[in-house]
Structure 1
Amino acid sequence: MAVTIREVASAAGVSVSTVSRVYTAPDQVQAQTLRRVLDAADRLGYTPNPAARSLRGGRTGSLGLIIPDIANPFFPPIVKAMQARARRQGYTVLAADTDERESDESETIAAVSKQVDGLILWASTLGEERLRDLAERIPLVLVNRHVPGLPELRVSLGAGIAQAAEHLRAYGHTRCAFVDCSRPEMERGKAIREAFEPHGLSLVELGPYEPRFETGLHAATLVASGQATAVVAHNDLVALGVLHQLAQLGVRVPGDVSVIGIDDTLLAATSTPSLTTIRISADEIATQAADLLVDTIAGRGSGRLVEIGSRLVPRASTGPAPR
């Protein structure tokens, strides 16, 4: 039998109306009381009824998360962690992907926005005016996409890229390649080049391509025929394609070429060789994005910028430059 709101109120020592406010207007509840109610709800396994809540307050009790590609192993842990975070605040998460296409993103937004109280858009391909129009109709948080005045969660690769440059230079590398799968406004290649040059590392940019495993296969062939002794890939998925194709070509990693990814997905630690990568915390992204959207729904997130950092995780795919 489902746990009722009255049972939560009794276990927490508060009124039923207080429990209701915890899930519908948490900003109106004292922090100590809020924590006591949420802890009681967790112990009892209580889940708010989104349908009833919608009828009472005109809300759905759901948050929308629209990501570029659910097949990318970087995103499932984020979805899982965001579900856990949202649940503690009385929400569920509805996730959908756009397959990296602007037309699919527009259609997905139109369908999902009818079923949620707010949206998180990851690296949106939509124009600035369309995003502003959307933000006037529904609470909106952008991830890795800047539109002045709109709430944004930004993943900063600065620290991780700088550590990667120091790491490669310490191993004696001077000629590097970057497999670029970013859109022009992301300027990831420029950021890597500016971090590498002070360390005496030249950078050849390959692409831009789509951020897929197959891209790594293609790029690895170009790397093998060139002079670069180290490769930085747009993400782990592309880096795994590089590793696979280099092995097929008889190129030793890291004996002949060192490889670095970005994201630190589960596959990075289990690949052969294990992949050196720039780590971005899925839990931190999920927590901060969910909190920012809930604040935006409550009218407290306007124009806020939250930044997430990164760091290098050295593994077996990097080593001394060949002599």
Structure 2
Amino acid sequence: MAVTIREVASAAGVSISTVSRAFTAPDQVGERTLQRILEAATRLGYSPNPAARSLRGGRTGTLGLVIPDIANPFFPPIFKAMQARARRQGYTLLVADSDEREADEIETIAAVVKKVDGLLLWASTLPDDRLVELSRQVPLVLGNRHVDGISEVHVSLAAGLTQAAEHLRAYGHRRCVFVDGSRPELSRGKSIRESFAAHDLALIELGPYEPRFETGVHAATLVAANEATAVVAHNDLVALGILHQLSRLGIDVPGRVSVIGIDDTLLATTATPSLTTIRISAEEIATKAGDLLAETVADPDQPARKVEIGSRLIPRASTGPAAA
């Protein structure tokens, strides 16, 4: 069996992306590190595979990131952290916005695919067969989207949702609303239903809608009409819309309704009241996604891998005891 770049990296005590640079851009690797890698490669009998050599011939030194909505405050910290991670790996980062539309995503990919060595698509709207076809054209990693045979970064909300359910239950809440802002194939509803059912919390689902501030404004009136004492929003943007509209309606938060978001963006701490939310670490996403993409570029033939990002509840002022 042929020796893989991963085995060389392990033997030399470095990352896969460093081994890749040693063979594609040795001037970017320290002399001692380069010597250690070359010695490990010789000892193991490693030689770069044909796919890696063909990539090297057209190397751009750039990684691509396509995100759904740059206006969503969840994404800029990921972009910034991933840019720093890419720079340490010897790459620049090209970022584009698909505006949550399949047609725009197709145009965006077509514009950037020949300019990058590898591409990360976050919450792609494309059908599975289009993504499989794309993975044959460029090293590809998916964020929060599963397609057999393609490496992915998956955000698991399981821990955060369980903590949210425990938090609300402890405060005496029994009737809750979930405002869904995701596409049907990416719906968070199933995870929330399971977590809340396990804690004997009744759950009413609204949507799915677009994951925007305006969605929260629209949903707030429905939340009040359902006489729920707590609401979980698809993300912080939707939660902020709910907070805004509940305030306009004269409904006290958390005295009458408790509100929980998802993401823990900067706006969550500046909201009035400050927003209880489920934290997803932008730094962890950037680190794991950046490394997985660089490894996929370095060895396009490696088996698809799935790396998971965890979550946890950050309690703030928007949740409190259920109204009597």
Q: TM-score, normalized by length of structure 1?
A: 0.84
Q: Secondary structure at the match of 1:137?
A: coil
1:48 equivalent in structure 2: none
State the 1:33 CA deviation. 2.1
2:278 equivalent in structure 1: 278
State the 1:31 CA deviation. 11
Deviates more, 1:245-254 or 1:220-229: 220-229
- Residue 92 of structure 1 aligns with an amino acid whose one-letter code is T
Q: Secondary structure at the match of 1:259?
A: strand
After the TM superposition, list the runs of 4 or more consecutive aligned residues in structure 1 that deviate by more than 3 angstroms.
18-26, 28-32, 54-57
2:259 equivalent in structure 1: 259
Distance in 2 of aligned mates of 1:317 and 1:23: 53
Deviates more, 1:127-136 or 1:57-66: 57-66
State the 1:185 CA deviation. 1.6
State the 1:20 CA deviation. 10
**Is 2:160 the partner of 1:174?**
no
How many residues end up aligned between the 2 structures?
287
- Residue 194 of structure 1 aligns with an amino acid whose one-letter code is E
**Is 2:323 the partner of 1:306?**
no
Distance in 1 of aligned mates of 2:285 and 2:31: 23
2:189 equivalent in structure 1: 189
CA 1:55/1:203 → structure 2, altered by over 3 Å: closer, same or farther? closer
Distance in 1 of aligned mates of 2:228 and 2:23: 55
1:268 equivalent in structure 2: 268
- Residue 287 of structure 2 aligns with an amino acid whose one-letter code is T
State the 1:58 CA deviation. 1.7
State the 1:57 CA deviation. 3.8
Q: TM-score, normalized by length of structure 2?
A: 0.84
Structure 2's unaligned 5+ residue stretches are 1-17, 37-53
- Residue 218 of structure 1 aligns with an amino acid whose one-letter code is H
Identity of aligned residues (%): 75
Query: Retained in 2: the 8 A contact 1:231–1:257?
Result: yes
Distance in 2 of aligned mates of 1:143 and 1:23: 28
- Residue 64 of structure 1 aligns with an amino acid whose one-letter code is G
State the 1:183 CA deviation. 1.4
- Residue 305 of structure 1 aligns with an amino acid whose one-letter code is K
Structure 1's unaligned 5+ residue stretches are 1-17, 37-53
Distance in 1 of aligned mates of 2:181 and 2:117: 32
Distance in 2 of aligned mates of 1:315 and 1:268: 9
Deviations 1:225-271 (A, max 9, x none): 22110000000000000000000000000000000000000000111
State the 1:302 CA deviation. 3.1
Query: Retained in 1: the 8 A contact 2:180–2:187?
Result: no
State the 1:187 CA deviation. 3.2
- Residue 112 of structure 1 aligns with an amino acid whose one-letter code is V
Distance in 2 of aligned mates of 1:250 and 1:134: 50
**Is 2:99 the partner of 1:99?**
yes
1:64 equivalent in structure 2: 64
State the 1:29 CA deviation. 7.1
1:198 equivalent in structure 2: 198
State the 1:182 CA deviation. 1.1
Deviations 1:187-230 (A, max 9, x none): 31111011101211000000110000000000001112221100
**Is 2:90 the partner of 1:90?**
yes
2:244 equivalent in structure 1: 244
Q: Secondary structure at the match of 1:153?
A: strand
